[in-house]
Amino acid sequence: MPTPPTEPTGRPTPAEGRPARRTILAAAAAAVPAAGLLSAQSAAAAPASATPGGAGAGRAADPDLGPNVVVFDPATPDIQAKLDEIFSKQEKAQFGTGRYALFFKPGTYNGLNAQLGFYTAIAGLGLVPDDTTINGDVTVDAGWFDGNATQNFWRSAENLALVPVSGSNRWAVSQAAPFRRMHVRGDLNLAPDGYGWASGGYIADSRIDGKVTPYSQQQWYTRDSSVGGWENAVWNMVFSGVEGAPGDSFPEPPYTTLQTTPVSREKPFLYLDGEEFKVFVPEKRTDARGTTWGSGTPRGTSLPLSEFYVVKEGADAAAINDALGQGLNLLFTPGIYHVDRAIEVTRANTVVLGLGYATLIPDNGVTALKVADVDGVRLAGLLLDAGSTNSETLLEVGPDGASADHAENPITVQDVFIRIGGAGPGKATTSMVINSRHTVVDHTWVWRADHGDGVGWETNRADYGVRVEGDDVLATGLFVEHFNKYDVQWNGERGRTIFYQNEKAYDAPDQAAIQNGDLKGFAAYKVADSVTTHEGWGLGSYCFYNVDPTIRQGHGFAAPNAPGVKFHHLLVVSLGGKGQYDHVINDLGDPTSGEDTVPSKIVQYP
């Protein structure tokens, strides 16, 4: 185990000798029940809380957004005490049941340090981040886990301006922890105190006036933002549409930089229009660069809460589908929702927005969420947690054979996370299936759990992470880990991926368990042999076969040898020598070897 640098001067050692990120460490704390905290608003009016289509006034003083939505304004007393109370419940509750959304009305707040634990989302309620300024910090650190940030999952910050007390805000996260629409008037530190391990992460539509200092972060993706500088890189730092990003320089330093993002559309968000709550739905951009809000009011559409069914714990799939059938959008309040049939989104331009990591659990092997082959559906801010009975799929975007052209108004899947096991036994043959053309998957972590409850090679069996059948699909910020077979299987034409992070399943019992015909193991990212056009930038796969360290993984990536199939900046890494890769892609690239945790890289394929 290396000794991390003790001072933030210069570039840290690139993870040499780094052992596995998570499973070699103890699992996090036991489940914590929801706190039953009252919202800062009156519950006098409950828009669409019981009867689909029912609507309250939607004003700041009266909507009922559930017991675990807390709204502050600058005059709210004891804000810090309330923040500390929630953090004390959520700091170690990795697989707990608490879910929280913390909202700050426009204005200025002084002297706050909002520490974020699991399943906690913090956001401003202005139309742009600078409407809501915190003279203080929004902090994620890893004291709960002895300075190791590799399990700092499921938390988010959005739509705030921060003036950090020390000049630098600490955001030491790993997967499923987006940093969106933020303005940091200072530096942003992505490492935990003490420079322990971290394995994030994602930034979008944000401005950091100072430097971003990743230090020990193994990989990171930043999209459509502005930074004052970037300090270093370990394995895989990817940028698209980022003003101030370092130049493209892979393999050393390992920066992958695209000047623009081909297609992007920011995540919908809750905000206050005067005293009325609304949901802002940003418009699509092509060849995007920089933030959506830097030149003033962002472009998009505002929807009143009267057009939403506000879903609260206890609502079932029948009621939710009834609301969708009446033409309403969905706003899931923080909570856990068991569904005994699929939630079916059939209307074009429907918004399905979750607050505070609202969690859907399918019962009896059903698919949790299905989207028809229609234009412009927005799925955002949800956690899909597999049930104990195997589901064939958890999320289906478009039915089998979907073929409609959605180029002008694509379906978007943003901050939608999937988990198989960890909180208890869960199974799903395929986690996410994308059938609809032109879908944009913008930041997802699809995870077969490698620690927690209900974890084992067959206990939380999940063969495939993401399967793409539709043509012209774009993935920006794709994290998929630990599946029994292919983590990503891409069958559609003209697919594109900007940034991919993967770990092969740690718990394979032996070589025979992962054998794929004549091949040693299933690729982390497989492009079908029939595909003629595909492109990817900044993709990495890691292995840590701790049950049987003699396992050989034939390659991290597999793709046809076709002129239109191109990859830029690929790497594979053996973590501490627990298993090895023979090649990077197909039969190309040097094998990994020894215990040095040094990547094998390919700059271009072919």
Radius of gyration of the chain (CA): 22
Comparing C-alpha atoms, which of 482, 493, 500 is closest to residue 546? Answer: 482
Q: Which residue has the tokens 């962002």?
A: 298
**Strand pairing class (351-362; 132-139):** unpaired
Comparing C-alpha atoms, which of 565, 568, 579, 582 is closest to residue 526? Answer: 565
Sheet holding 488-490, edge to edge: 343-345, 369-371, 391-397, 428-434, 464-468, 488-490, 525-527, 552-558, 580-585
DSSP-based three-state secondary structure for 176? coil
Strand partners, 138: 114
Q: Which residue has the tokens 């206050």?
A: 272
DSSP-based three-state secondary structure for 125? coil
What's the rounded Cα separation, in Å, for the pair 174 and 515? 30
Cβ atoms of 509 and 541 within 8 Å: the answer is no
Catalytic entry in 313, 503, 535, 595: 503
Confirm whether 503 is a catalytic residue.
yes
In our burial notation (b when 16+ CB lie closer than 10 A, e otherwise), range 374-387 reads bbbbbbbbbbbbbb
Q: Which long-range contacts (CB under 8 A, 24 or more apart) does 601-605 make?
A: 601/250, 601/251, 601/254, 601/569, 601/570, 601/571, 602/567, 602/569, 602/570, 602/571, 603/250, 603/251, 603/568, 603/569, 604/566, 604/567, 604/568, 605/557, 605/559, 605/565, 605/566, 605/567, 605/568, 605/570
The residues near 50 (Cβ < 8 Å, ≥ 6 apart) are: none
Comparing C-alpha atoms, which of 9, 181, 15, 54 is closest to residue 544? Answer: 15
The residues near 252 (Cβ < 8 Å, ≥ 6 apart) are: none
Q: Which two tokens stand for residue 311?
A: 């879903």
Comparing C-alpha atoms, which of 262, 304, 297 is closest to residue 282? Answer: 297
| CA end-to-end distance (rounded Å), the chain | 36
The residues near 10 (Cβ < 8 Å, ≥ 6 apart) are: none
Q: Which residue has the tokens 């079916």?
A: 344
Comparing C-alpha atoms, which of 424, 425, 362 is closest to residue 396? Answer: 362
Q: Where are the beta strands (DSSP E) in 266-319?
A: 269-273, 276-282, 284-288, 300-304, 308-311
* Active-site residue list: 503
